């Protein structure tokens, strides 16, 4: 990635961009890896602290919530403080959380450690995206975002495989310990190579915005995460959702009134940005849904270990990792439209086969169609996000990133909730009666397997539907790359 002019930071000093990107990538990889690292270790942790499934779930739910609440605030943080300070802050917070979790004498400390980690990750992810969009010229943003896609796409996909392997061979504490040397190295290197690259303003913190967004998005995310299990008519679920909606609306209204908004939601006025947000959100839904259901299928129906289910999903993750930088470069040259159309076609077609999986489906079947899906997502998510960002003025990038990420987070929590509730209600309805278990247990087991399978089929049907919906949206994208001050050849 050589440019004719040397990049300079906000003080006008030149810096080594490749090293900065490297430090940024490695650190962010560690933090994002943590979002999917825990689930495999749940059984071991439950045994160690003798706690229930419902409590242990909080290690993931709580983490995601803190993470989700931090993202809307991140825009202000990134604009207010230098990116070097923010990055060091995010990585140090993450390190502290990791250490707390590693030494945790009881479940309370472990959860606290995870929540502290979530604070760090909530900043590091939007920071990564904003920095990458800022330090490269607009016509190279695609390639830069492709690299981001490599991290954001590959890290969560590697999580289960890695943690399965570690938990099988060592101890769940190792999951935290292994992070420590890497993160310490990243922090030390960041002192030297991370620069302040995003222009700052001394905008005051707006406490009302912080409070309304924290309560609003927190309640919303919590409501959706419980809706999947407790059902949509549960009084608490409805209460949390209502609370969430009210505070998010209050937050939104306040932003529209402010001269210098805390989180500028007016970025939605840019049509291409909104379309991109919806499209990448829906693509993300399809991704999250399958990443949730396929491991369930492999582990519950096929009886494979978590590690093996991770291995089965690995080729898909690699397909995404390999394709992401390529699609990024292609985006810089040719724009997002046709890539999104191709990608969403692949995602839709790759989802449909999963409607037909049986208890004996060939493993290669699962691997290949999953990889085709991931290919499709790699061709869509980052290019579309970038094309949305490209229509924004330079000083709105951090806001755009925060809005886009928040939107995606909320959308995927809604989607996950829908998927889980469809899955569990279809499974429940096709479950054979309890008397059958007493009378003919063998027949019951057979029917129960089929019931669970039909639950998975239903979930994949929803997933394919999302993908098909996104495919339709893709046709509304503008042709070519809309990078400002473009040197790009238009697609004719």
Residues that bind another protein (CB under 8 A): 330, 334, 338-339, 341-343, 345-346, 349, 352-353, 356-358, 360-362, 364-365, 368-369, 372, 375, 379, 437-446, 491-492
Which H, E and C letters describe 373-439, residue by residue? Answer: HHHHHHHHHHHHHHHHHHCCCHHHHHHHHHHHHHHHHHHHHHHHHHHHHHHHHHHHHHCCCHHHHHH
Shortest distance in whole angstroms from residue 142 CB to another protein: 12
Shortest distance in whole angstroms from residue 136 CB to another protein: 21
Whose Cβ is closer to another protein: residue 200's or residue 361's?
361
Q: Establish how many alpha carbons lie within 13 A of residue 477's alpha carbon, considering only the half-sphere containing its beta carbon.
A: 36
Helix (H) or strand (E) holding 107: helix 107-135
How many other CB atoms are there within 10 angstroms of residue 486's CB atom? 15
Whose Cβ is closer to another protein: residue 171's or residue 491's?
491
Measured CA to CA, the distance from residue 463 to residue 283 in angstroms comes to 9
Shortest distance in whole angstroms from residue 309 CB to another protein: 19
Shortest distance in whole angstroms from residue 469 CB to another protein: 19
Measured CA to CA, the distance from residue 254 to residue 207 in angstroms comes to 11
> Residues 86, 194: contact at Cβ < 8 Å?
no
Whose Cβ is closer to another protein: residue 95's or residue 339's?
339
Measured CA to CA, the distance from residue 39 to residue 56 in angstroms comes to 9
Q: Report CA-CA distances (Å) from 342 to 278, 346, 388, 471, 480.
A: 17, 6, 18, 9, 15
Whose Cβ is closer to another protein: residue 78's or residue 336's?
336
Whose Cβ is closer to another protein: residue 63's or residue 334's?
334
Shortest distance in whole angstroms from residue 243 CB to another protein: 44
Shortest distance in whole angstroms from residue 491 CB to another protein: 5
Which has the closest alpha carbon to 224: 471, 447, 417, 422?
Answer: 417
Whose Cβ is closer to another protein: residue 42's or residue 369's?
369
Shortest distance in whole angstroms from residue 459 CB to another protein: 17
Joined tokens for residue 318: 């690699």
Whose Cβ is closer to another protein: residue 13's or residue 358's?
358
């Amino acid at each position: 990635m050589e440019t004719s002019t040397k990049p300079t930071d906000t003080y006008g000093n030149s810096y080594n961009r490749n090293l900065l990107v490297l430090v940024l990538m490695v650190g962010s990889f560690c933090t994002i890896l943590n979002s999917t690292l825990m689930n495999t270790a749940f059984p071991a942790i439950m045994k160690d602290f003798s706690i229930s499934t419902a409590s242990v779930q909080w290690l993931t739910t709580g983490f995601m919530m803190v993470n989700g609440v931090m993202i809307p605030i991140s825009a202000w943080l990134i604009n207010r403080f230098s990116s070097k300070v923010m990055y060091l802050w995010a990585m140090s917070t993450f390190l502290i959380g990791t250490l707390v979790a590693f030494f945790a004498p009881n479940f309370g400390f472990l959860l606290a450690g995870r929540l502290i980690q979530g604070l760090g990750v909530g900043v590091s992810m939007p920071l990564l995206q904003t920095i990458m969009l800022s330090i490269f010229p607009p016509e190279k943003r695609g390639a830069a975002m492709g690299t981001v896609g490599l991290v954001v796409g590959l890290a969560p996909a590697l999580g289960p495989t890695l943690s399965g392997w570690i938990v099988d061979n060592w101890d769940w504490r190792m999951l935290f310990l292994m992070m420590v040397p890497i993160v310490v190295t990243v922090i030390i290197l960041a002192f030297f190579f991370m620069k302040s690259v995003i222009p700052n303003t001394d905008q005051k913190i707006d406490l009302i915005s912080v409070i309304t967004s924290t309560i609003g998005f927190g309640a919303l995310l919590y409501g959706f995460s419980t809706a999947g299990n407790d059902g949509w008519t549960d009084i608490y679920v409805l209460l949390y959702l209502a609370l969430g909606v009210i505070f998010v609306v209050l937050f939104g209204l306040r932003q529209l009134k402010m001269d210098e908004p805390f989180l500028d939601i007016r970025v939605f006025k840019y049509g291409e940005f909104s379309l991109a947000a919806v499209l990448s959100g829906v693509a993300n839904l399809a991704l999250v849904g399958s990443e949730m259901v396929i491991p369930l299928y492999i582990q519950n129906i096929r009886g494979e270990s978590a590690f093996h289910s991770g291995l089965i999903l690995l080729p898909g993750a690699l397909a995404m990792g390999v394709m992401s930088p390529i699609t990024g470069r292609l985006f810089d040259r040719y724009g997002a439209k046709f890539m999104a159309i191709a990608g969403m076609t692949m995602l839709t077609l790759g989802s449909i086969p999963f409607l037909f999986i049986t208890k004996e489906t060939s493993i290669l079947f699962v691997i290949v169609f999953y990889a085709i899906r991931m290919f499709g997502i790699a061709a869509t998510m980052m290019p579309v996000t970038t094309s949305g960002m490209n229509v924004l003025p330079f000083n709105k990038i951090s806001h755009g990133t925060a809005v886009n990420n928040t939107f995606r987070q909320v959308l995927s929590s809604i989607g996950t909730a829908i998927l889980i509730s469809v899955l569990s209600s279809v499974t429940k309805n096709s479950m054979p009666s309890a008397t059958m278990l007493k009378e003919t247990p063998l027949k019951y087991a057979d029917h129960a397997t089929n019931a669970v399978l039909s639950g998975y089929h239903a979930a994949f049907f929803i997933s394919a539907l999302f993908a098909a919906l996104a495919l339709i949206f893709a046709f509304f994208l503008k042709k070519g790359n809309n990078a400002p001050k473009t040197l790009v050849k238009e697609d004719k």
